[in-house]
Amino acid sequence: MAEPRLKAIERPSTYKKYADKWIAISPDENRIVGSGRTLSKAKTEAKKKGIKDPILARIPKHSGGYII
């Protein structure tokens, strides 16, 4: 049985490449269709690619855990 495909937001490479940025994700959650330092920039890039209502998310600078 094939392993399920990771959604764009679940991929470790997403956190490395888009750290401290906004990303726009396709409605099927499989592709990042825009990114930028501002929400507006990410949304504009997605709209240029024909995605009217992307899922928008902010990727934090640090995706590691914390020891308390």
What's the pLDDT tens digit per position in 9-33? Answer: 777 888 889 999 999 999 999 999 9
pLDDT in tens, 45-61: 999 999 999 999 999 88
Report the candidate in 7, 62, 26 with the shortest Cα–Cα distance to residue 35.
Answer: 26
Q: What angle do CA 63, 66, 20 make, to 5 degrees?
A: 25
CA distance 47 to 26: 10
Distance CA 32, CA 7 (A): 10
Q: Say if pTM beats, i.e. exceeds, 0.85.
A: no
